[in-house]
Amino acid sequence: MHPTFEILGLSIPAYWLCTMAGVSVCSVTALFRHRRFEELQEVDITNSAALLFIGVLIGSKILYILTILPILIRNRQLLLGDLKLAYEVIGGGMVFYGGLIGALVTLRLYVRKYHLDSRSFFDYFAPLFPLFHCFGRIGCFLNGCCHGKVSERFGIAFENSPSALNGVPYFPIQLVCSLGELILFFIVRAYEKKHHRSGKAMVLYLALYAAGRFVIEFFRGDMIRGIWAGLSTSQWISLAILLTLLIRQYRAFNRNGASPAA
């Protein structure tokens, strides 16, 4: 694998290159999507997109630290004695669910502050989440993190991974996730076209992603992701999201006396 690339004499992490590629592709896609959302002002899209990116970075880092918190506590003396090591441990990862939550909270706050149409805004951004995540998982594969379980038949052995045991064949679950995110992008985009400005596209994305992520976690082989009562942190978050969506749909059904609203 290639955890880093040498560009103009600089060693750049492959994960960040994939992240920047994802941002670039999402930016171009967002420009084309604006044609269908002419009621949204460009300044609001630009500002909210910048805040979303900040929310992703902050949220993903916070959840990563919470996930490895037991490890940090057990090794606190070692980390306090070696600040460089502590920086490498804390700065060495991010968790997508934290980024997703951070982005949604940021977007919600922006929409409420400026009294904007939340349904249009959430539908506008909904397909961009899986599209961005598609590139992120490719970065995980190149880095060797977020790998699958050991598989002699279908596994791929890493050679220079800073996150996995080199020479051990791991099932490339990152590439499966990347393909799944790309498919999810097309599904959410098609659904949004049919239910334009309804707010349902974001609900669909959250429901499908949470369900898929819950299943995918059973095939993961990396251990630094938090295991509580037999389920990973991401699986518990997936269950919480699905339960929240079901409660919202149930309340909407009772309120409207018809088919559930978004």
pLDDT in tens, the chain (262 residues): 677 777 777 778 888 889 899 999 998 998 888 888 888 888 888 898 889 889 998 999 888 888 877 778 888 788 788 777 677 767 667 788 999 999 999 999 999 999 888 888 899 999 999 999 999 999 989 888 888 999 988 999 888 777 778 888 999 999 999 999 999 999 999 999 888 777 789 999 999 999 999 999 999 988 777 777 889 889 999 999 999 999 988 887 777 655 554 4
Give the model's pLDDT for residue 26: 92
Which one-letter amino acid corresponds to residue 251? R
Provide the Cα torsion 258, 107, 63, 136; round to 10°: 100
Q: Tell me how far CA of residue 244 lies from CA of 112, 152, 239, 241, in angstroms.
A: 21, 39, 8, 5
Give the model's pLDDT for residue 204: 95
Give the model's pLDDT for residue 92: 67
| Residue 186 to residue 179: CA distance in whole angstroms | 11
Residue 157, helix vs strand vs coil: strand
Q: 44 pairs with which residues across the strands?
A: none
| Residue 81 to residue 183: CA distance in whole angstroms | 46
- Is 0.95 surpassed by the pTM of this model? no
| Residue 208 to residue 211: CA distance in whole angstroms | 5
Given a contact cutoff of 8 angstroms between Cβ atoms, the answer to whether 160 and 3 are in contact is yes
Continuous H helices in the chain: 14-33, 42-67, 69-74, 76-81, 83-90, 96-113, 118-125, 128-143, 173-194, 200-216, 233-256
Give the model's pLDDT for residue 262: 46
Integer Rg of the chain from CA = 20
